[in-house]
Amino acid sequence: MCAPVKIPRRPRYFAATVALCCALAGCGKTLPQGAEQGGPLSAVGPKGAGGLITKNTTRLGGSSAVVDAAAVALTVYPSATATTRPQTAVLVDANDWPAALAASTLAGAPLHAPLLYTEGTTLPEASANALATMHPSGAPMLEGAQTLSIGTAAPSGYRAKQLSGRSPAALAVAVERLASSLRKARPSKLIVTALDAPGAMTAPAAGLAAQEGAPILFVEADAIPHATLAELTRLGHASIYVIGPSSLISEAVVTHLQRFGPVTRISGADPASNAIAVARFTDGSFGWGVEEAGHGFAFANPSRPLDGPAAAPLAANGDYAPLLLLGEAGRPTRSLVQYVNDLQPGYPSSGPVHGVYNHAWLIGDERAISLATQAQLDAMLEISPRRSTQEPAAPELETSTPTTTTGP
């Protein structure tokens, strides 16, 4: 592997999903034979749903990102009819964070593929059951492949395609080239984030990549890997959106990236404010630009960054939900409370039935997002006679730096 270029620093199917939410993430088996047809899941745990569902929030998942990804996949593709089955499912090793993040772009158009996690050469029970239930029909654009394995083993019994790379950056390039071939065009917009950054700081890139259909390429804090540099040279010119502050991706790296197109940095100082910056950002037709009520959101705990790619299909289907992150202890930070309160819908003069509404997907069980936090979020999302600016009591909050920055 080449050394990087160094830069000086500066209903029943719902019941099946519910049963899956409480699967034991530690239970697994070798990559299984595929079922001949899709079907409902058998119960794999006694608890039922992963937690409370409220009027403005829906909890998906369970004790691990493996279960969370399977629950999201079945929510987006309940597979009750032929039209609610995916063409293919993407498989990524849960131990390979860069591959999971890069694969998120495939949750967007035109493939719209759900993501499932393997554990090395083992397909955990939750993933195996979700795959059997969805039983992908086969993607014509992938020569009929039912599964697409990104840097991991392919399950037996399914028509499979595999992608590999000699390094994380090279694997991201392979995903970008595949996505470009599916879209029949070179990308005009690229998302760039840091391989060596904490997962919670880069996780919001997953939803943005899925929603925009923009590929993710990797740099390091003070270097651009050769695989990324070669691909940027080959692509020639593209708008580049760097996710993360200068403490994670240096200004020297940004300056180098400007040789390949205009560069815009989207950043916040901590995971919660960084995710808010991504949700707020817009550049013409690119970006969420969520500054008003009437949206879906996916909330996750930053200690489980793999929930970012797991939730990516929710960013490209249904209510198109950007990822928002709680504080380290799983409670809303002040910056998050302020942002969500600013988005709380108010009644129009004609009454609440003519208003717009917010909805939140909560990713993970009560250990990831507590019931108290769920209730707090539900109240903040609720349409009300007047916009609420009152923050919850101090014990419910974590201190965070609310500053978000955009620009090169």
CB within 8 A of 193, min separation 6: which ones? 101, 202, 205, 216, 218, 219, 242, 243, 244, 249
Tens digits of per-residue pLDDT, 349-358?
Answer: 777 887 889 9
Mean pLDDT, rounded, for 130-137? 96
User: For the chain, what are the domain ranges?
Assistant: 14-407
Q: Which pLDDT tens digit goes with each residue over 363-405?
A: 999 999 999 999 999 999 998 886 434 434 444 454 444 444 4
More confident residue, 12 or 223: 223
In terms of Cα–Cα distance, which of 285, 310, 265 is closest to 62? 310
Q: Cis link prior to 155 (omega < 30° from 0)?
A: no
- pLDDT value at 60 more than 50: yes
The pLDDT-based confidence of 187 (bands split at 50, 70, 90) is: very high
pLDDT at residue 92 is higher than 50: yes
- Tell me what pLDDT residue 43 has: 29
Using CB atoms within 10 A of its CB, is residue 99 exposed (0-12), middle (13-18) or buried (19+)?
Answer: buried
Nearest by Cα to 103 from 169, 195, 175, 162: 175
Q: Is 62:366 a contact under the CB 8 Å cutoff?
A: no
| pLDDT more than 70, % of the chain | 82
For all residues of the chain together, what is the average pLDDT? 86
| Alpha carbon distance 218, 244 (integer Å) | 12
Residue-level pLDDT at 386: 61
Q: Which of 21-30, 43-52, 342-351, 379-388 has the lowest mean pLDDT?
A: 43-52
Residue 51 has pLDDT above 70, yes or no: no
Does the pLDDT value for residue 100 go beyond 70? yes
16-43 burial, b at 16+ Cβ within 10 Å, e below that, comes to bbbbbbbbbbeebeebbebeeebebbee
- Give the mean pLDDT of 64-70: 95
Q: What percent of the chain has pLDDT over 90?
A: 76
152-163 per-position pLDDT tens digit: 999 999 999 999
- Backbone φ, ψ for residue 238 (5° rounding): -155, 155
Distance CA 254, CA 219 (A): 10
**pTM for the predicted model, two decimal places:** 0.85
pLDDT tens-digit map of 252-296 = 999 999 999 999 999 999 999 999 999 999 999 999 999 999 999
Query: Taking residues 172-193, what's their average pLDDT?
Result: 97
pLDDT at 74: 95
